[in-house]
Structure 1
Amino acid sequence: MERVTTFDGATIALHSTGTGPGIVVVHGGGVTIDVYRRFAAALADRFTVHLYNRRGRGDAPARALPYTFDQEVSDLAAVLAHTGAGNVVGHSAGGLIALDAALRLPIQRLALYDAAISIDGSFPASWLPAARAAAAAGDLPLAMALTAAGINTHQAAARLPLAVRVVMCRLFLRTPIGRMMGDLLPMTLDESTLIAAADGPADRWAGVTASVLLACGGRGPRYYVTADDALAAALPNARSMQIPGSAHDGINRAPDNLVEVFAEFFATPVAPRSGEPAR
């Protein structure tokens, strides 16, 4: 494990595996890098995959306050500079961070999976005030029930009576992953608030010149499809696709059909700009 010094003097632990061109993973909200280890291992025979916990999680330093995505982009810049990698994967909220970074940093290839990017109101946000109020009141099962239904609009469970969903979340919070997601829920709510605040037209991202893969799960919420298609039309070097059979956690489960799509994307030479060789 290596240590990366950020631009504000904090230290990030870098967990790397594999051999070959480097890929940096920007993980989603509500989890740590532990749920991405299967994905990293599946690519390790062809790529060096770098995982790091975003601030406030696992072995990462605390977040600076007030919290903004600017510090996340700054941390990613430090990791890219340390590793020399030009390839980035962003998942969920990490997808918005990675896309924002691609406007500012020398990222060559950017693969997003279920990226939480709101295009003209596509990201659902009406649930946020009630969920934040429940969390502030210390009612974690209620806050989690409201969050889960608000984000997972496609699931039948989201349409169950609220009391039933609260009971389900209370049971889920007794599991190891439930406890982790419960502990990190305040950060999930903060990130969801920033995602909603970053809403806008797709062409605001048109300055991203990296080669971009906009992937989403075929079994996930449809608002990812809407946003990806709009972004694919607005970005100069982007395409969108759905991964059959995968849900929002598809990248964590790392089925073969998903892994091969990502591996092929990162192995494809980047179309050169005028006067530059292919990379």
Structure 2
Amino acid sequence: MAQDAPATIEIRHTTSADGTKIGWRRLGTGPAIVVTHGAIATGEQWLPVARALADEHTMLLLDRRGRGLSGDAEGYDLGTEMADLEAILAVAGPGATLLGHSYGAITAAATVAAGADVSALMLYEPPLPVNGPLVGTTIAPLAAAVAAGENERALSIMLTDIVHTPEADVDALRQTSMWAEMVALAPTLEREMRVVDGLAGDLDRFTTIRQPTLLLLGSQTAQHHVDATRFLIEHLPHATLVELPGQEHFAQATAPTLVADTVRSFLRRA
């Protein structure tokens, strides 16, 4: 039997509240899922998951501002990212689902907590600073590397000193094609890490979410992701926790079929 042809990918753009052009990839048919990615990434990283869901859902893979298909602006805070998401959700239409990964999960949760019209929310390991600032004094060498244009050093600081990736894993990552892509995106790290640490005294904003919420957690992930997810499961009345066996923080790349099946199952129940 012949296999179905891959879903056609369309490139679309809209304008955010501050005039910044925001781009995304669109594929599939059915109820809309808007995906917002994490740091040092683009929406393209989620294409394997999107292709697996495209037979049942219209997938909108956002490129967050400052990378890929999207423009940027001088002013930046969490509110600008929330406005970007609101602009995409307006295109997706009423009843869309929002899926966020890592830093993108923070922006997704903040947008929904502020009243965005979504039918359901899915969060994959938002690095909420539930135990105090996540970056702390490490922001200084990170900022210095970004200011000096030393993107590779900035990325190494992020991976080794902030998210505590084992050195062997960092060395392995350097040998992949992803490394150059991540290095190119390193200048966006400082501003995003400042936002993360700035939330240390503002976590109550996330406890107002009332939509059905799927919390994805890798069984082998870092402890700060476990703690942040535990905080959400304890405070959100309609949250469902699903552990991804054998996975860490990037199951969308290492186990896309597992992520897609988990999303599909949750949305069918929700």
Normalized against structure 2, the TM-score is what?
0.86
**Residue identity opposite 2:244 in structure 1:** I
The 5 A counterparts of 1:153-232 are 153=164, 155-157=165-167, 168=171, 172=174, 176-200=177-201, 202-232=203-233
- Residue of structure 2 in register with 1:43 after alignment: 53
d(CA) in 1 for partners of 2:106 and 2:180? 25
Q: Which runs of 5+ in 2 are unaligned?
A: 1-9
Q: Any gaps of 5 or more consecutive residues in structure 1?
A: 270-279
Conserved 8 A contact 1:208-1:235: yes
Decide which of 119, 129, 132 is 2:143's aligned counterpart: 132
How many residues align? The count is 258
Alignment of 1:66 onto 2:75: yes
**Matches of 2:41 and 2:199, distance apart in 1:** 22
Question: For the structure 1 residues 139 and 79, does the alpha-carbon distance in structure 2 shift closer, same or farther, using more than 3 Å as the test?
Answer: closer
1:78 maps to 87
Question: Is the Cα–Cα contact under 8 Å of residues 3 and 14 in structure 1 kept in the other structure?
Answer: yes
Percent of matched pairs sharing the same residue: 29
Distance 1:201 1:9 in 2: 28
SS at 2:208 equivalent: coil
Root mean square deviation, CA, Å: 2.3
Partner of 1:23: 33
Q: C-alpha separation between the residues in 2 aligned to 1:200 and 1:11?
A: 31
Task: Assess if the C-alpha contact under 8 Å between 1:38 and 1:253 holds in 2.
Answer: no
- One-letter identity of the residue aligned with 2:62: Y
8 A contact 1:14–1:52 mirrored in 2: yes
| Structure 1 match to 2:6 | none
Deviation at 1:227, TM superposition (A): 0.9
1:158-183 CA distances to partner (integer Å, 9 max, x unpaired)?
8x9xxxx7xx49x92x8542222111
1:96 aligns with 2:106: yes
1:119 counterpart = 2:130:
yes
Q: CA offset at residue 87 of structure 1?
A: 0.3
Paired AA for residue 245 in structure 1: G
Matches within 5 A, 1:48-59: 48-59=58-69
Which of 109, 120, 125 is matched with 1:109 structurally? Answer: 120
User: Does the CA-based 8 Å contact 1:18-1:47 persist in structure 2?
Assistant: yes
Distance in 1, Cα, partners of 2:46 & 2:150: 29
Counterpart residue identity of residue 91, structure 2: H
Q: Deviations over 1:123-152 (max 9, x none)?
A: 354432222223323433332222111243
| Structure 1 residue corresponding to 2:42, chosen from 11, 32, 44 | 32
**Is the 8 Å Cα contact of residues 3 and 11 (structure 1) preserved in structure 2?**
yes
2:160 to 146, 149, 165: 149
Q: Structure 1 residues 77 and 14, CA, compared in 2 at 3 Å: closer, same or farther?
A: same
Taking a change above 3 Å as real, the CA distance of residues 190 and 10 of structure 1, as seen in their structure-2 partners, is closer
Residue 13 of structure 1, CA deviation: 2.7
Secondary structure, in 3 states, of the residue corresponding to 2:240? strand
Residues 85-104 of structure 1: per-residue CA shift (max 9 Å, x gap)? 52000001000000000112
- Matches of 1:239 and 1:121 in 2, distance apart? 25
TM-score by length of 1: 0.84
